Chain A
Amino acid sequence: MVKSLSLAGGAALFNLWGCSSGHRGPAPCFEIAGRKIRWLVPFPPGGGYDIYSRLLEPFFRERIGADIVVENTPGAGGVISANKLKSSQPDGATLGILNAPGLLVASLTGETSAPNPTRDFTILARIVRNQAVWVTGINSPLRSMDDVLAEAAKRPLLFGISEAGSTNFVNTAVAAHLLGIEAEFLAGFAGSRETSLAVMRGEVDLAAFTFESILDRIEADDLRPLLQISAERLSPHSSLAGVPMLGGDAGAAARRAIARQRDAGQAAADAHALIGLTGAGLLVAAPPRMNEERFRCLEQKLHEALTDAAFQAAAARANRSLDVERGDAALAEIRSAAQGAELFVPVIREAINKIRN
């Protein structure tokens, strides 16, 4: 009956029964003391979004002066949680995490009734960018991007994805397009972990994952990173030494454009837009039309929590990287990413149609 991963009501009950933490923090900068803040997480407990939320919760609670109730409201790739957040009152009592790239892609392709993160929320902070790598199995004959391109010249390459329209699908479809690789897609894996098993079994040639979500598999010598969907090295981790980057003037997209006698500058710009889109990141947001005083207060307190050395140490211990940005700057970045991403809508639609047909 009630035994499920989702904890929305459970957490609420837990607090109702007086099990809340009994906050003793500093005075809040707006009237939130004694109240509870619902913190909506768009995916089930135990995943990356949930881990960031639970790591941050004590640090934010200490600063804002209110108890934080983490509610997992999974469904529809984060759309249900985002819609819930969008329709809440902008009184500071409901905040949430957004899967910005997923929502941007969904709203651009018009596939679902997903809200648009550039206009339907009050953006308070970015926690991390979530940039991706292409990986292959450690026993795969594809040991470098040169191997990938050579093989792609002979046959279409098969990419594993969880679902058409997901961020990792966009990563592969658009990057393959920029590199002139004919891509086939195998969709339907239950999640990124299950997709990684398909890569390890050699059922698919390649897949895209956020680097940190797959780092343990790379460290375990199960998977090999082949391409960074970035313009700079994603991490100092040794596995990324010598792994080419898609973006930048001398990146894989530009070099490939030269080899194919295309416009290298345009290819670099397209790669930049893709990196912006898929790296839009994990945002903390409030409902739209929040008044300035509340926004400033929440944004400041959140920034303090996110830049707290103890929080950053806890995140490092949990192997969670951070790329913190303040609300206004994060919003400016995703607006720019959304603009650039409109270029890819035909490519994404074509790839989706290929799967459907």
Chain B
Amino acid sequence: MLEPILQAAWEGLLLVFSWPNILYPVIGTLLAMVFAFLPGLSGFTLMALAIPFTLSWEPLPLMLLFGAFVGGATFMGSVTAILFNIPGTTPSAATLIDGYPMAERGEAKTAIGCSAMSSALGSSFGVLVLILLIPVMRGAILAFGSPEFLMLTIWGFATIAAVMRGSLLKGLAAAGVGLLLSFIGFDPQTAELRYTFGNAYLYDGLGLVPIFLGIFAVAEMINLSVTDQRTISGKTQVEELTGSLWRGVGSVFTHFGLFIRSSIIGTVIGMIPAVGGAVASFVAYGQAVQTARDGKENFGRGDIRGVIAPEAAHDAKDGASLVPALAFGVPGSEGTALLLGALTLHGLAPGKELMNDHLDLVFALIWSLFFSNWLTSILGVAVVNHLARLTVVRTQLLAPFIFALATLGAYVYKGRVEDVAVVFIFGFIGYYMKKHDWPRIPLVVALVLGSLFENNLHITLRLHQLGRINFWTRPITLALIALTAATLALPYLQAYRARRRERR
């Protein structure tokens, strides 16, 4: 069984690294990086725009190009998160929690180097798992039903406890507000409208993108504008920056256990249809805080482990999200939704036929994604010195630019002016939360997980009530219950151990 897969993997590799095929992933990666960096555009924009131009292409160049688009669209989002506190992609919102404070300390180079290495290795991990799962991917997807999704979100909530700093009450209140915000729009069960006040804009709830832009980027710029800080890093000369690229790269190996755990989280979550990378990044971040042996005090203040975890999870998700896409045509992420669209246009239906008859093409896609992830990170590292200079740009110049970027980004999200208003409303909310020491992360995590939790809670309860499932006899569910219990118990266990050590 393994031999034909290995042979197809080899053939796929040869297809990618032969002339002129290699041009497709190279050009695809460069385009994706440019689009990801340009304000208002993204790798996904590029994919949709490219679809009509590739209609007459053969399937192989299409696979190579789109694999590169998926892989090349992620890393640059983390760069803007680290440098400007702007989540370039929704998953990179978790990277900015510690990445931006590092840039504020003048260590942008370290953070970007760490992000590049964690991202490249994380994607390799996801691709490796994807290859290993090919023989069993259908079973793996079908094993994850609503009870498993539900427990996964509950585990995610458990990580909120880990990321809370300061007042517990404030953290819980922020999480509660996040949950309430996630309930805006149609009730997934009854299709009744909630908290929409008759406004069609709110029917589908508030978008994560405008809220993230507001609560992080705009809030930060307001804060910078009203304080005396002259630049993001507080320095005025490039020479004063203290970060080291290689320290960042090496940190992934120093914390290799954390990297592996985070990659596993990204891979598992990536395989779950319609969950998305933001969940993977935040859950991995929470896990990083939770498992930190030296306590969580440094997180949120520029701890490099807070960059490693979300970056590894986010990129490991890319390969894993191809599992449901290739097995059943169910997109596991935004990028794979467009990839599936492009494949469909070429008459390549995901599923058994694609996996049996065109496995070499599938591998060409996988290798192109792999190649693109590494190329993006290498190019990112190559220009890190230039990027780090942006942290010494004066606030008076930077703040208007970021405000404009946020406005444009919000509008491009769905072409709706209301999203621009949401950005600025949440910008002020975020600023006041920061000023009065209200934690923003619990709000964001609850918002990301809220609708997933609600939906799967309803479905699971109903299935259990109807006798269609037994919640308590499902192995993956039970494993996730145990993981949640362990996550909640770990801080107490660590505190108990610390007390015992002190007594000795």
Contacts and interface: CB of A to CB of B under 8 A. Distances in A.
Interface of A: 1-11, 13-14, 19, 44-47, 50-51, 54-55, 57-58, 70-76, 79-80, 83, 111-113, 158, 163-165, 184, 186-191, 193-194, 196-198, 200-204, 215-217, 219-222, 314, 317-319, 352, 355-356
Contacts of B49: 7, 10-11, 14, 19
B341 A46 contact: yes
B189 interface: yes
A198 B415 CA distance: 33
Contact of A3 (B88, B201, B344, B347): B88
Interface of B: 36, 39-45, 47-49, 51-52, 55, 73, 77, 80, 86-90, 141-142, 145-146, 186, 188-193, 198, 200-201, 203-204, 207, 209, 212-213, 217, 273-274, 328-331, 334, 337-342, 344-347, 349-353, 405-406, 408-416, 455-456, 458-459, 462-463, 466, 468-469
Contact of A186 (B90, B342, B353, B463): B463
Chain B interface helix/strand/loop/mixed: helix
Contacts of A6: 412-415
Given A51-B345, A356-B192, A2 B39 contact: yes
Contacts of A165: 191
Contacts of A8: 412, 414-415
B83 to A, nearest CB: 12
B36 A3 contact: yes
A54 B142 contact: no
A71 B409 CA distance: 16
Contacts of B145: 198, 201, 203
A20 B331 CA distance: 29
A356 B189 CA distance: 8
Contacts of A202: 468
Nearest to A82: B200
Contacts, number: 240
Nearest to A70: B48
A9 B411 contact: yes
A76 B204 contact: yes
A187 to B, nearest CB: 5
A72 B42 CA distance: 15
A163 B186 CA distance: 9
B463 A220 contact: no
Given A9-B408, A45-B337, A319-B347, 7 more contacts: A1-B89, A46-B338, A46-B339, A187-B188, A187-B189, A187-B190, A196-B328
Contact of B80 (A1, A191, A219): A1
7 contacts: A3-B43, A3-B334, A6-B414, A10-B48, A55-B55, A75-B201, A158-B466
B415 A76 contact: no
Given A2-B39, A10-B49, A197 B340 contact: no
B208 to A, nearest CB: 9
Contacts of A111: 191
Contacts of B90: 3-4
B331 A4 contact: no
B192 to A, nearest CB: 7
Closest 3 A/B residue pairs (Cβ): A8-B415, A46-B341, A2-B409
Contacts of B80: 1
Contacts of B350: 216
B349 A4 contact: no
A350 B368 CA distance: 52
Given A2-B209, A10-B412, A112-B203, A194 B273 contact: yes
B317 to A, nearest CB: 14
A326 B203 CA distance: 32
A72 B188 contact: no
A319 B80 CA distance: 40
Nearest to A75: B204
B353 A58 contact: no
Nearest to A68: B52
B203 A164 contact: no
A75 B405 CA distance: 24
A169 to B, nearest CB: 8
A1 B351 contact: no
Given A186-B463, A352-B191, A46 B414 contact: no
A194 B405 CA distance: 35
B409 A1 contact: yes
B340 A163 contact: no
Nearest to B39: A2
Nearest to A111: B191
A45 B48 contact: yes
B203 A317 contact: no
B191 A2 contact: no
A221 B314 CA distance: 33
Contacts of B47: 45
A51 B42 contact: no
B227 to A, nearest CB: 23
Residue in A3, A46, A76, A186 with the greatest tally of chain B CB atoms within 10 Å: A3
A164 B353 contact: no
Contact of B42 (A3, A201, A203): A3
B406 A1 contact: yes
Contacts of A3: 36, 42-44, 73, 77, 88-90, 209, 334
A165 B192 CA distance: 10
Contact of B212 (A1, A10, A191): A1
B200 A4 contact: no
A191 B274 contact: yes
Nearest to A221: B352
Given A188-B455, A197-B141, A2 B198 contact: no
Contacts of A318: 344-347
Given A2-B40, A203-B468, A188 B337 contact: no
A190 B459 CA distance: 11
Given A196-B328, A203-B145, A216 B341 contact: no
Nearest to A213: B329
A305 to B, nearest CB: 14
A3 B213 CA distance: 11
Given A1-B217, A2-B408, A318-B345, A44 B337 contact: yes
A216 B340 CA distance: 12
Nearest to A315: B345
Nearest to B331: A46
Contact of B341 (A51, A71, A217): A51
A1 B87 contact: yes
A5 B200 contact: no
A245 to B, nearest CB: 25
A10 B328 contact: no
Given A189-B459, A201-B142, A203-B468, A5 B41 contact: no
A193 B330 contact: yes
Contacts of A76: 186, 200, 203-204
A57 B413 contact: no
A136 to B, nearest CB: 14
Given A3-B73, A46-B341, A194-B330, A10 B45 contact: yes
B70 to A, nearest CB: 12
A5 B468 CA distance: 35
B140 to A, nearest CB: 12
A220 B415 contact: no
Nearest to B216: A1
B190 A217 contact: no
B345 A5 contact: no
Given A11-B49, A193-B273, A5 B415 contact: no
